[in-house]
Amino acid sequence: MSRILSSSLRTLPRVSSKPIIPTTARKAFISSSSSINSNPAFAQDQQPQQDDMPIAVKTAAQWAEFGRHHVCHGLGRIRDHVIVKGEGLDLYTADGKKLLDFTAGIGVTNLGHCHPHVSRAAAEQVNQLVHLQCSISFHAPYLQLIDRLLPAMPHESLDQFFFWNSGSEAIEAAIKVARQATGRQNMIVFSGAYHGRTMGSGALTRSKPIYTQGTGPLMPGVFSSAFPYWHQLGVNPSTSEEELVRLAQHQLDLILRQQVNPKDVAAIFIEPVQGEGGYVPVPPAFLRHLREVCDKHGILLVIDEVQSGFFRTGSYFAIEQIVPELRPDILVFAKGVANGFPISGIASNKEIMGKLDVGSMGGTYSGNAVACAAGVAAQEVYQSGEIGRNVEVRSKQLYKVLNKLASDEKTKHLIADVRGMGLMTAVEFRNTADECTLEGLPEGKSVPKNIGKRVQEYCLNKDLMVLTTSAFDTIRFIPALTVSEEEMDRAMTIFTEAVESVAREG
Ligand SMILES: Cc1ncc(COP(=O)(O)O)c(C=O)c1O
């Protein structure tokens, strides 16, 4: 891998770093029965040991108890496992369990946990330069990451970049850019959208109240229109795409005629595949319509590919498959960009970014050197072509099983919808609380309660990590994009058993 500026600097003497934990004490814990758990903080027998360790040593159960006492109550978890290692799709717990991870850290470790090429690049970078505040100078990995991302952009106008750490921060950056560039304040978002949890990004989020409840007032000036998804429009799942688009366009039109003048709107934010809204791809006609509305009124179109980017749906960015010629004014990305290293960003064009005041953008850790180096290595893997090919075959394998469950006499009365793109796929279960999901319910069949939660519980008990999504009864599948045929098969066997068991028990 080429590294700008690196060869001359490599000859500089390195300062040796002594381990903080005394070697003798370390050895006592590393030479344990488990080769996976080499973390010195875990006692390998069931007794806590103290010795001269500078950090507390506890059993896995004690660490979990410690976590329950000290980790912020507002942070939820699907299980209280204490994870010590990840490799590919495998996660290892401190008490020796191996889990099959179909969550990928919510669509982050697209190349699998600790992908060797990415981890190696990060490790090398750690010994070159860890941090350089981006307002002090350029640093090499920052520039190299831009160099790697440029050819991956879904439109050639996107050649100006700003990096931040999280998806929410990148959304904050997009809000700021949109307001500065247009001189307008208001934003339009869609029902079911998830753009983050901070005061600006949280104001754009419309998937569940929990993310911002009790914390208002949030950023004002946000208008919400219906996403072209049957739940949001109160129609049945069999409603044609054409009709969904017509209804959603009508809602947007009403907003622009009754609630906010288009000349006061800075930007329209949309996820090409709604993530926390239930893994719902946007119909191409609706996205084209948004581009037209934006062009007509001088509004910026912001495409949030935080969850759908980096081959999650089979292409670098989902919009390439939905509307290949689409020109986003701002593209927002995060998650898969560096396979788990915290970095996010926005890309826009010269005209828009050129309107920013110098010094208005920045952040201490924005574009951290180690995260950028990991991002460069991740792009090298994405650009090899293998990841996209794997998503294509593995998603076919996944859909085959899900479609079979949706048509099988034993289980079809449980399933309302199978949808998504690539390895961003979901099953929505019927729910008596949502009348529209009961469309097509076979005669004489009743719908049990909480199907999704029960299916998830079954899978978790079989050591398959799966997530629900949205305010509706939905399970999503977002494994690493490197998932093998055998891993997909194993996961689908457990999932099928889970659905069949709910069908049997009723
Ligand atoms: C589409 C989308 N936008 C923004 C965010 C916020 O990203 P983060 O959690 O990194 O702040 C997420 C997170 O799930 C997301 O899915």
Domain span at residue 416 reads 388-505
What CATH number should be reported for the domain holding residue 429? 3.90.1150.10
Number of independent structural domains in the chain:
3
User: Mutation test of ligand 1: which of 110, 335, 366 has the most ligand atoms closer than 8 Å to its C-beta?
Assistant: 335
Question: How would you label 40-57 residue by residue, b for 16+ Cβ within 10 Å and e otherwise?
Answer: bbbbbeeeeeeeebeeeb
* Count of other CB atoms within 10 angstroms of residue 505: 8
Q: Ligand 1 pocket, 125 CB below 6 A? A: no
The whole-angstrom separation of Cα 58 and Cα 52 is 14
The answer on 145 and 209 residing in a single domain is yes
The answer on 408 and 312 residing in a single domain is no
**Residues 56-67: tens digit of each pLDDT:** 788 999 999 999
CA of 277 relative to ligand 1 center, distance in Å: 12
Q: Ligand 1 pocket, 193 CB below 6 A? A: no
Would you say residue 110 lies in a domain? no
User: Tell me, what's the pLDDT at 133?
Assistant: 94
What CATH number should be reported for the domain holding residue 212? 3.40.640.10
The answer on 434 and 373 residing in a single domain is no
Percent of the chain at pLDDT > 90 equals 89
**Residues 193-208: tens digit of each pLDDT:** 999 999 999 999 999 9
**Residues 257-310: tens digit of each pLDDT:** 999 999 999 999 999 999 999 999 999 999 999 999 999 999 999 999 999 999
The answer on 370 and 402 residing in a single domain is no
Would you say residue 98 lies in a domain? no
The whole-angstrom separation of Cα 309 and Cα 316 is 6
The answer on 395 and 377 residing in a single domain is no
Would you say residue 7 lies in a domain? no
The answer on 377 and 403 residing in a single domain is no
pLDDT category of residue 39 using cuts at 50, 70 and 90: confident
Please state which of the ranges 15-19, 433-437, 471-475 shows the lowest mean pLDDT.
15-19
**Residues 132-184: tens digit of each pLDDT:** 999 999 999 999 999 999 999 999 999 999 999 999 999 999 999 999 999 99
DSSP SS3 for 379: helix
Contact 503, 411 (CB under 8 A): yes
Would you say residue 40 lies in a domain? yes
Among 350, 382, 414, give the residue marking a domain's end. Answer: 382
The answer on 392 and 365 residing in a single domain is no
The answer on 364 and 232 residing in a single domain is yes
User: Mutation test of ligand 1: which of 306, 332, 339, 467 has the most ligand atoms closer than 8 Å to its C-beta?
Assistant: 306
Tokens 């919510």: give the residue.
106
The answer on 436 and 373 residing in a single domain is no
The answer on 246 and 334 residing in a single domain is yes
Among 322, 355, 382, give the residue marking a domain's end. Answer: 382
CA of 165 relative to ligand 1 center, distance in Å: 11
Would you say residue 8 lies in a domain? no
Would you say residue 139 lies in a domain? yes
The answer on 186 and 141 residing in a single domain is yes
CA of 195 relative to ligand 1 center, distance in Å: 5
The whole-angstrom separation of Cα 217 and Cα 210 is 14
The whole-angstrom separation of Cα 418 and Cα 427 is 5
State yes or no: pLDDT of 13 exceeds 90.
no
Nearest atom of ligand 1 to the alpha carbon of 305: 1
The answer on 234 and 193 residing in a single domain is yes
Nearest to 230 by CA among 241, 216, 219: 241
pLDDT category of residue 33 using cuts at 50, 70 and 90: very low
CA of 148 relative to ligand 1 center, distance in Å: 22
DSSP SS3 for 144: helix
Among 347, 382, 417, give the residue marking a domain's end. Answer: 382
Would you say residue 470 lies in a domain? yes
State yes or no: pLDDT of 502 exceeds 70.
yes
The whole-angstrom separation of Cα 426 and Cα 420 is 6
* Count of other CB atoms within 10 angstroms of residue 342: 18
pLDDT category of residue 12 using cuts at 50, 70 and 90: very low
